[in-house]
Amino acid sequence: MKFSLILAAAMVATASFAAQAQHSHKPGAAAHGHKAAGETHAHKSPHGGVVRTAGAYHLELVQQAGEVHVYLLDGKEATMATAGTTGSVMMLTTAGKTSTVALTPAGDHLVAQVPAGTTVRTAIVSLKASGKSLSARFEKLDAAAKTSKASAAYTCPMNCEGSASDKPGSCPKCGMALVKKS
């Protein structure tokens, strides 16, 4: 228990250098004029997640049922290929527990599995891309997840758990097309 608290405190302290702002936007939304502390520009969010500056790049974190998706974005916030990119996510849960999970490639992004029944509060993403080390800290993810679930307009007609989405697409569990809620 004590070790877990010390590890959580260390995680918070070591990542404080990443003082850039995080923003949550609707998919495809234009960047707004608001800049948070530490940022030199506003962000847009191409996949509906939270975007953070990581050196000359950006990282976007999107939470889905039991998973964390990480997109590598260029300086203009366009999605970049992740071939050869490796990394991990250190997660602090709402229960105060920490865990580090490897990111695995999944098309144009990387995915980490979140332990069942876990609500992530803070995530620190560390990547090695094109020979560069990148990292970004994402905070208050538990609050963002609640907002995201409340605004979901599409769901699986089979009512699969974790299928709620704010945009059309297919169910991550069964593959059926999502339908608009009435």
Number of domains in the chain: 2
Which structural domain, as residue segments, surrounds residue 134?
A: 2-142
Please indicate, yes or no, whether residues 59 and 106 belong to a single structural domain of this protein.
Answer: yes
53 located within any domain: yes
The predicted structure's pLDDT at residue 143: 81
pLDDT along the chain (182 residues), means of 10: 50 41 40 45 80 91 91 91 94 92 94 89 94 92 62 75 77 84 68
Q: 135 in a domain, yes or no?
A: yes
Sign of CA dihedral 73, 57, 118, 29: negative
Asked if 97 and 18 sit in the same domain, the reply is yes
> According to the model, what pLDDT value does residue 24 have?
40
Same domain, 172 and 128: no
Task: State the CATH number of the domain containing residue 118.
Answer: 2.60.40
Asked whether residue 20 falls in the same domain as residue 109, the answer is yes
55, 128: one domain: yes
Query: Distance between CA 99 and CA 108 in Å, rounded?
Result: 24
Do both 46 and 134 map to the same domain?
yes
Spatial distance between the Cα atoms of 93 and 84, rounded to a whole number of angstroms: 29
Give yes or no: residues 67 and 113 share one domain: yes
Residue 90 shares a structural domain with residue 27: yes
- Is residue 92 located within the same domain as residue 172? no
pTM score of the predicted model: 0.62
Residues 105 and 174 in one domain: no
Check whether residue 44 and residue 116 sit in a common domain. Answer: yes
Q: Three-state SS across the chain?
A: CHHHHHHHHHHHHHCCCCCCCCEECCCCCCCCCCCCCCCCCCCCCCCCCEEEEECCEEEEEEEECCEEEEEEECCCCCECCCCCCEEEEEEEECCCCEEEEECEEECCEEEEECCCCCCEEEEEEEEEECCEEEEEEECCHHHHHHHHHHCCCEECCCCCCCCCECCCCECCCCCCECEECC
- 129 within domain boundaries: yes
Q: Is 135 within 8 Å of 94 (Cβ atoms)?
A: no
Q: What is the pLDDT of residue 112?
A: 95
Is the residue at 162 inside a domain?
Answer: yes
